[in-house]
């Protein structure tokens, strides 16, 4: 291992050797050197309550000993070979996933990242339907590859100025100035319109996140996805649900789409499946899976170490009932945030399900409170809390802690938030 160099030198090295596109949240970002379940430690020994979990990755906590044991055991036995031979962990994982996936979804194709999983899902939809085009929602983020970036609406995540024109974007269930239900109805009307318009015939699938993470924790009303599915079915269009950020107990159910009572045609998973180990998958039913016929496999996707880790993740979620924990603690967090909203007028909206919660901040004049959002993040960091932010205008506080967080941690977070919100009018 290289000798310790410290945060300043890391920034220098980043500037010298990485691409300039990497960005930070803080003026002086902490150098994280250690993780222990819901806590992170920086190079100066400061302890933080992690309320971001590496963007919904570390659902089972940092360096979770039970999961690490499975990873290390597999690493010491067999790390990697090729899918041309037979290995057990990947098929065991596929079997386990089949038992927790919604409805008739039971076939998995393993890869390494969320982008890859979505790329595969989009390809599968094309192969199955024989159609080329897609619908995606405003505020969406589906990945960094060409097609997934093409289905990504958030301008800051669309690095390529000339993305594929096969995607039609429609309004999502969000509006700052009108009730959510109204915005959701308009979103569905826009989907229907896009389908029948002569420019957007030939649509293979609509891709959507059940709760839009980077888009600002946009949470459609409970009836939205059922109505959406009915519209799509009428036109022979598949529904791809991107659970990359919402999957694996984050919202109080194994998958967020379960809150909506809908079984999608294809579901994509990544992040929390590996709890820090790169593993992802697109999953579908027996009817659609045979459309992918050419020999196709990802070199490292679902390798023995990643698969064994993911099995241990599923074991851990079940053993400690993390769905129930996320539901219960999510209620506590939401209750607390709603109480803060009554007190602090900068809080425009509190939304989300379980431990996937967003707080949208607006200034008095109704504009996005982006500087205030940064101020809150900085203040909380000083108080030992790492929180996220997202939204098109970077004015949504993102609460996505490891699901092993305690009630005491939530109380501490809410207390500190209350104090920091109280500082805003005096400081800015
Ligand atoms: N889908 C969603 C909803 C995401 O949040 C992300 C990443 N933030 C991706 C896809 C892409 O995943 P990855 O970075 O693993 O490629």
pLDDT digits (tens, 9 = 90+) for 12-66: 999 999 998 878 889 999 999 999 999 999 999 999 999 999 999 999 999 999 9
Domains of the chain: 7-51+322-423 (3.90.1150.10), 65-320 (3.40.640.10)
pLDDT bucket at 426, cuts 50 / 70 / 90: low
Transcribe 88-131 into DSSP letters: HHHHHHHHHHHHHSSTT--EEEEESSHHHHHHHHHHHHHHHH--
Lowest-confidence pick of 75-84, 292-301, 419-428: 419-428
Statement: residue 239 has pLDDT above 90? yes
Statement: residue 91 has pLDDT above 80? yes
Per-residue model confidence (pLDDT) at position 355: 98
C-alpha closest to that of 310 among 98, 113, 89, 105: 89
Question: 276-289 pLDDT, tens per residue?
Answer: 999 999 999 999 99
Statement: residue 342 has pLDDT above 60? yes
Q: Exposure pattern of 233-250 as b/e (b: 16+ CB <10 Å)? A: eeeebbbbbbbbbbbbbb
CB atoms under 10 Å from CB of 334, counted, come to 18
Task: Over range 295-322, report the average pLDDT.
Answer: 96
Probe target for ligand 1 pocket from 244, 280, 358, 396, with the most ligand atoms within 8 Å of CB: 244
Question: 184-228 pLDDT, tens per residue?
Answer: 999 999 999 999 987 777 999 999 999 999 999 999 999 999 999
CA–CA distance, 349 with 180 (Å, rounded to integer): 11
Q: Give me the residues paired with residue 207 across strands.
A: 136, 240
Ligand 1 in reach of 390 Cβ (< 6 A): no
Task: Over range 74-80, report the average pLDDT.
Answer: 97
CA–CA distance, 140 with 172 (Å, rounded to integer): 9
Nearest Cα residue to atom 12 of ligand 1:
114
CA–CA distance, 290 with 102 (Å, rounded to integer): 19
Closest atom, ligand 1, to C-alpha of 209:
3
C-alpha closest to that of 267 among 250, 251, 245: 245
Assessment of whether the complete model's pTM goes beyond 0.95: yes
Ligand 1 in reach of 400 Cβ (< 6 A): no
Nearest Cα residue to atom 13 of ligand 1:
114
The CA 10 to ligand 1 mean position distance, Å, reads 25
The CA 269 to ligand 1 mean position distance, Å, reads 9
Nearest Cα residue to atom 1 of ligand 1:
142
Ligand 1 in reach of 144 Cβ (< 6 A): yes
Statement: residue 428 has pLDDT above 70? no
Sequence-distant (6+) residues with CB within 8 A of 395 are 360, 361, 362, 368, 369, 370, 372, 373, 389
Ligand 1 in reach of 214 Cβ (< 6 A): yes
Residue 288 and residue 124 in contact, taking contact as beta carbons nearer than 8 Å: yes
Ligand 1 in reach of 143 Cβ (< 6 A): yes
Statement: residue 427 has pLDDT above 80? no
Ligand 1 in reach of 259 Cβ (< 6 A): no
Ligand 1 in reach of 113 Cβ (< 6 A): yes
pLDDT bucket at 295, cuts 50 / 70 / 90: confident
Per-residue model confidence (pLDDT) at position 297: 87
Probe target for ligand 1 pocket from 23, 110, 115, 306, with the most ligand atoms within 8 Å of CB: 115
Share the mean pLDDT of the chain. 96
Sequence-distant (6+) residues with CB within 8 A of 118 are 142, 143, 145, 147, 148, 151, 207, 240, 242, 244, 268, 282
DSSP secondary structure letter of residue 35:
E
Transcribe 324-344 into DSSP letters: HHHHHHHHHHHHHHHHHHHH-
Task: Over range 168-177, report the average pLDDT.
Answer: 95
């Amino acid at each position: 291992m290289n000798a310790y160099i410290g945060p300043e030198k890391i920034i220098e090295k980043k500037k010298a050797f990485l691409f300039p596109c990497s960005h930070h949240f803080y003026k002086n970002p902490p150098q994280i050197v250690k993780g222990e379940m819901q806590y992170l430690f920086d190079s100066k020994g400061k302890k933080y309550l992690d309320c971001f979990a590496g963007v919904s990755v570390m659902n089972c906590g940092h360096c979770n000993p039970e999961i690490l044991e499975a990873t290390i055991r597999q690493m010491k036995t067999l790390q990697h070979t090729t899918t041309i031979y037979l290995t057990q962990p990947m098929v065991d994982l596929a079997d386990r996933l089949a038992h927790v996936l919604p409805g008739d979804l039971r076939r998995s194709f393993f890869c390494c990242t969320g982008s890859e999983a979505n790329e595969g899902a989009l390809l599968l939809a094309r192969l199955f339907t024989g159609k080329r085009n897609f619908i995606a929602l405003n505020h969406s983020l589906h990945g960094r590859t060409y097609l997934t970036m093409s289905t990504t609406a958030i301008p800051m995540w669309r690095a390529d100025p000339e993305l594929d024109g096969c995607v039609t974007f429609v309004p999502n269930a969000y509006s700052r100035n009108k009730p959510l239900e109204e915005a959701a109805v308009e979103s569905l009307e826009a989907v229907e319109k896009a389908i029948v318009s002569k420019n957007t015939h030939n649509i293979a699938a609509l891709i959507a996140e059940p709760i839009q993470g980077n888009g600002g924790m946009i949470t459609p009303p409970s009836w939205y996805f059922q109505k959406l599915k009915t519209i799509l079915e009428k036109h022979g269009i598949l529904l791809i649900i991107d659970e990359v950020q919402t999957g694996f107990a984050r919202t109080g159910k194994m998958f967020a789409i379960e809150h909506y009572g809908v079984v999608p045609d294809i579901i994509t998973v990544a992040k929390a499946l590996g709890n820090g180990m790169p593993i992802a998958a697109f999953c579908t039913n027996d009817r659609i899976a045979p459309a992918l016929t050419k020999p196709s496999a990802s070199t490292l996707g679902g390798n023995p170490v990643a698969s064994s880790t993911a099995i241990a993740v599923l074991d851990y979620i079940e053993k400690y009932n993390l769905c129930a924990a996320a539901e219960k603690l999510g209620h506590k967090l939401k209750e607390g945030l709603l109480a803060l909203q009554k007190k602090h007028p900068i809080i425009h909206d509190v939304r989300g399900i379980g431990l996937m919660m967003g707080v949208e901040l607006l200034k008095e004049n109704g504009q996005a409170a982006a500087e205030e959002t940064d101020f809150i993040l900085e203040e909380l960091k000083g108080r030992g809390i790492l929180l996220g932010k997202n939204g098109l205008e970077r004015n949504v506080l993102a609460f996505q802690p490891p699901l092993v967080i305690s009630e005491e941690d939530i109380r501490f977070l809410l207390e500190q938030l209350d104090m920091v919100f109280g500082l805003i009018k005096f400081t800015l």
